[in-house]
Structure 1
Amino acid sequence: MTLQDLEIQNLTKTFDAFTAVDNVSFSVPAGSFFSILGPSGCGKTTIMRMVAGFIDPTSGDIRIKGRSVLDVPPNKRPVNMVFQHLALFPMMNIADNIGYGLRRKGIAQDEITRKVGEVLERIGLPGIGQRKVNELSGGQKQRVAIARCMVLEPDVLLLDEPLGALDLKLREHMKIELKSLQAEFDTTFVYITHDQSEALVMSDQIAVMNNGRFEQVGTGQDLYYRPETAFVAGFVGDSNRWRGKVTRAEGGQLQITTEAGLTMTGSDQGRGLSVGAAADIYVRPEAIRVGRSADELSQFENTMRGTVSSILFNGAASRLIVRAENGQEIEATLPQSGEFSGISRGDALHLGWSGEQANAFAASDDFTKVFE
């Protein structure tokens, strides 16, 4: 049986008439990187603050290493927390910042000096103990904040959107750094974010949260390629999205006519949509193939002809916006080489995609909420 560092059982938190966390249960295996991903206000930070002990749950249990910590005050729980703004002390040097928690515990100075030196080595910043906080780069401050937590040897490290204040380039770099540090310390990380790329890059498991509940828990691949709800399909990754109606359902395949008049073949992956049902359909831009003629795409159940209305250049992830003859706009990944390297606005193209990659769900209000 896999050892669970953190177990959340039927956790609920209400504030007057508002339910911030609604009967959530999950477990985090020892030594893993677990992320809670969701939009602002979905309840993810409330979970984090309950685990840390800053607020009490209305009901449910929080167990660390198999023991309930509901009666344990925050300063006695075997967890530590990295905040978005890091909360380093500017009047202290780096060694004193990292050793602050050890001094509060009454550890002897010689032992503090040894532990601080060891943790600075492990985060790749040896010899900077006498420097001031304002002398460090953003990435170095991030590592020092983690070192200040890890020197206390917590069972679980909580990270509340710690990359949110960094610029884009540094944020991309720190994704790799955080994953490496988690592996180096072999400590369970529980990470809160609204940024899907952070969760997908770093996490062993991701919980997608919406309106106080978990929509789906799984690997990044599970969430991206096998979403279980319309919210997950729309929130994780980019998708073309349409609302329509099922006009045929046979042998696990659906025929769906969108509100804009586009007819396509899709699949509900066993969710049981029937003829006449309102449906939301999602197709990833990278699932759509581009051709100069219809014959090039004859293997696909879904094809259409259109005109390039816009090109969104972003290096390897560049996209085409193609306007179909019925006025429907579809986003497709732009091929980076060959005959499509010189593509321009106004070019006529054909698009094709598999019915298995048109993922259909029963129509839901989440269809619009994700994209507002």
Structure 2
Amino acid sequence: MTPDLECLNLVKRFGDTTAVDTVSFDVPRGSFFSILGPSGCGKTTIMRMIAGFLEPTSGDIQIRGRSVLNTPPNKRPVNMVFQHLALFPMMTIAENIGYGLRRKGMPRDEIARKVDEALERIGLPGIGNRKVDELSGGQKQRVAIARCMVLEPDVLLLDEPLGALDLKLRERMKVELKALQAAFDTTFIYITHDQSEALVMSDQIAVMNNGRFEQIGSGQDLYYRPASAFVAGFVGDTNRWSGQVTRIEGDEMEIRTDSGLLLRGASHGRPLSAGDSAQIFVRPEAIRIAHDTEELSHFDNRMTGRVASLLFNGAASRIIVQDPDGREEIEVNLPQSGEFAGLKRGAEVHIGWSGAQGNCFAAGVR
């Protein structure tokens, strides 16, 4: 089946600055596809090119197999939800949702039917006569999406639409947006710098850095099998060490960190050799905490240290463990059983983790 969206070798330059550098990807029909990256990486530039607000310096953009280059934004089968929604405060909800249909000259009774259907699908039936300022933040989000979806675009673009919401509402809207995408069965292209948003909602995620895609994959691919040091450090929380490879056995290796720790890990990306500078990444949840060293005897990496800080966050609580010489601080998730809930600052703890949980990459490699 032809993808809903295909971008081929996209390049966008602004003078001497290359904002997007030879990016290619395709998005299957009915997918939730996110572009995740830090501010200034080029993700919004890609969205603006898809929407038609910018033309690429080179490359092609195809929607359902047809190039849309040189096609003005209002003629492309796409629509866009902005961060600040841009709802019209002087109009009712029904008038907001039906605005684009009126511009197309659709008969009034047909507009009313489509608006009512849209309100049903977003879970807000019967509010068509209300004003925008009578709605909650989450309801406004749904109305903004309905206003786009009544136009039946092939692709809906969403430019950080949750950025202006408070934390609790943002968490709830992650679930609601995914449900809305499934309800409309429309391809969503979602731009964000928030990894949690991308991981929760997306079928596929492209991690972007300095104008290029570092990796495209599912949330699990990016989290557990990062293809680069940037992805390993950007997606999810992690402990990171720099050092030098001292020994290699197949895919496993030993790295002496700059602070003198000797750690075992597994190589990813470009092959490494003894003597190479390297980085090793270990997730806080991969590290086991125990009452004594015997419980950790099967781990490649073991350490006794003291609790430097306690970071209470309910089920996601952590401690920061300082090694005996004060060279490193390591974040460790506390088990949800509550077994270690009574730990105090300065308490001695034993930690360990498998070498297979350590993702190793050459230092300085993208």
Change (3 A) 1:329 1:74: same
Contact 2:229–2:365 at 8 Å: present in 1 too? no
1:336 deviates by: 3.0
Which SS does the other structure have where 2:4 is aligned?
A: strand
One-letter code of the match for 1:60? G
Change (3 A) 1:338 1:140: closer
Contact 2:11–2:56 at 8 Å: present in 1 too? yes
1:338 deviates by: 5.1
Instruction: Tell me the TM-score normalized by structure 1.
Output: 0.97
- The answer to whether structure 1 residue 317 and structure 2 residue 297 are counterparts is no
Which SS does the other structure have where 2:182 is aligned?
A: helix
- The answer to whether structure 1 residue 291 and structure 2 residue 290 are counterparts is yes
- The answer to whether structure 1 residue 244 and structure 2 residue 243 are counterparts is yes
- The answer to whether structure 1 residue 342 and structure 2 residue 319 are counterparts is no
Q: Which residue of 2 aligns with 1:38?
A: 37
Instruction: Tell me how far apart the structure 2 counterparts of residues 192 and 128 of structure 1 sit (CA, whole Å).
Output: 29
1:271 deviates by: 3.2
Q: 1:292-307 alignment to 2 at 5 Å?
A: 292-307=291-306
1:243 deviates by: 0.4
Q: 1:268-279 alignment to 2 at 5 Å?
A: 268-269=267-268, 271-279=270-278
- Structure 1 residue runs of 5 or longer lacking an equivalent are 367-372
Q: Which residue of 2 aligns with 1:138?
A: 137
One-letter code of the match for 2:363? A
Q: Which residue of 2 aligns with 1:105?
A: 104
The superposition leaves residues 285-308 of structure 1 with CA deviations (integer Å, 9 ceiling, x where unpaired) of: 000000111111001000011000
Contact 1:262–1:326 at 8 Å: present in 2 too? no
One-letter code of the match for 1:286? E
One-letter code of the match for 1:362? A
Change (3 A) 1:27 1:111: same
Q: Which residue of 2 aligns with 1:260?
A: 259
One-letter code of the match for 1:335? P
Instruction: Tell me how far apart the structure 2 counterparts of residues 326 and 17 of structure 1 sit (CA, whole Å).
Output: 48
Change (3 A) 1:83 1:274: same
Alignment: residue pair count: 365
The superposition leaves residues 240-277 of structure 1 with CA deviations (integer Å, 9 ceiling, x where unpaired) of: 00100000112221110000111011111363110000
Contact 2:42–2:211 at 8 Å: present in 1 too? yes
The superposition leaves residues 74-121 of structure 1 with CA deviations (integer Å, 9 ceiling, x where unpaired) of: 001000000000000011111110001001111111111111011001
Instruction: Tell me how far apart the structure 2 counterparts of residues 3 and 297 of structure 1 sit (CA, whole Å).
Output: 52
One-letter code of the match for 1:229? S
Contact 2:30–2:185 at 8 Å: present in 1 too? yes
Q: 1:1-372 alignment to 2 at 5 Å?
A: 2-269=1-268, 271-327=270-326, 328-337=328-337, 339-364=339-364
Instruction: Tell me how far apart the structure 2 counterparts of residues 15 and 253 of structure 1 sit (CA, whole Å).
Output: 44
One-letter code of the match for 1:334? L
